[in-house]
Amino acid sequence: MQFVGIKIADSAARAKLEGALQLALSDAALPKSWLNRTRRIAGSQKTFTPMLGTALLAKATDDSVNALALKTGNSHNSYSARGLATKVLVPFCVEHGINLRTTGAEPLNNQPFFRYESVDRHMKVQSQSDLEYLVECLEAADFLRGERALEALAAFLRVRLEDPASETVLAAVDSTPDLAGVRAHAIEFTTIETEGGKRGQAAVAGLLDLVFDEVRTSRINDPSRRFSGDILVGPTERPILSVEVRQKPVTATEVEQFVARLEREGIRKAMVAMLSPAQRSLSSDLESQAWSRHRVHLELLTGVGQCVDLALLWTALPLDEAVRHLIVRVHYRLQEIECQAMSLELWLAPFT
């Protein structure tokens, strides 16, 4: 039997997070049991921390959900843990410098969670004892109601804020910066130093975050890549868009080879972001040939400035909010692909 499950509104979940954060930052006494559980989970597999946080957020927002659920459809009170983590918990924690122990935008799209309907003791993991404890925590969370659920979430946030080894620290952006200034800074930032292509890749991935929900990127020259392209958009098993980011001049032959690989891999949409100031103009025929020869819809973008312009045009966010999120998401992606600390500081310098 297929169940509909429970839909948790992003706005409602974010409101609960804001309330829980205020509580976490206050002098209020919070439940020791959840403070201790969060600390102990931090000694296990990294993805267990965002799993616990997502479950507590779900219960604080709608206490009828099943805290052990991962996907909708397997029970009447199931929910999409992956969606809640990706759309609400991770962005919120990035904005407020809360360490989730993972740097990916989709922490629950990893082992062991992406292939299961719910968290249980039969999952294949590295440490069975750690999994056992996570399940115990989620079973305890399933009994939380009302203010108790909010207090448990606040306890989780307080512990994660206290972690001195934060991987998601982001200085607050006090006001909405000038659009022209942001655009100019993005161009300069990706031009004066490329870090072997890391800066450009992070910038484009952060811009795509404004438009798409499922954006994945990986470290430069990652041998585990299953599909061609530096950035993939869409489901892990079947991406719908592949983006190649180059900070060295691109030739027509390289574009044609990229498109041919995508045809073999079954990806029908492609973008090539050509960010080098020395890039020569390529024939617009490349885009029409990509379709006529390979049935791949290709878009060629020249320079970071054009990427910024299009992302701000395509995003559903209001312009002022989109500009601020642009800064946040590029900073997050710089961390994700392990750019130098100096790069993170330089990116934020004009905005804080």
Instruction: Note the pLDDT of residue 167.
Output: 41
For the chain, what is the radius of gyration of the CA atoms? 21
Per-residue pLDDT reduced to its tens digit, 258-267: 999 999 999 9
**SS3 state at 237:** coil
Tell me the average pLDDT of the chain.
Answer: 88
Single-letter code of the amino acid located at 63: D
Rounded distance between C-alpha atoms, residue 51 and residue 86, angstroms: 11
Q: Report the pLDDT averaged over residues 88-114.
A: 80
Q: Which domains, ranges and CATH numbers included, belong to the chain? A: 10-162 (no CATH), 179-351 (3.40.91)
Strand partners, 274: 246, 302
Assign 1 a pLDDT band (cuts: 50, 70, 90): low
Instruction: Note the pLDDT of residue 176.
Output: 67
Q: Report the pLDDT averaged over residues 313-333.
A: 85
Cβ-contact 12, 84 below 8 angstroms: no
Rounded distance between C-alpha atoms, residue 322 and residue 85, angstroms: 20
State the CB neighbour count (10 A cutoff) for residue 169: 14
Instruction: Note the pLDDT of residue 166.
Output: 42
Assign 169 a pLDDT band (cuts: 50, 70, 90): very low
Q: What is the pTM of this model?
A: 0.58
Whether 341 has a pLDDT exceeding 60, the answer reads yes
| Tokens found for residue 22 | 């205020």
Number of helices (H), then strands (E), in the chain: 14, 5
Per-residue pLDDT reduced to its tens digit, 27-73: 999 999 999 999 999 888 888 999 999 999 999 999 999 999 998 87
Cβ-contact 287, 300 below 8 angstroms: yes
Cβ-count burial 276-301 (b if 16+ within 10 Å, e if not): beebeebeeeebebbeeebebebebb
Instruction: Note the pLDDT of residue 216.
Output: 85
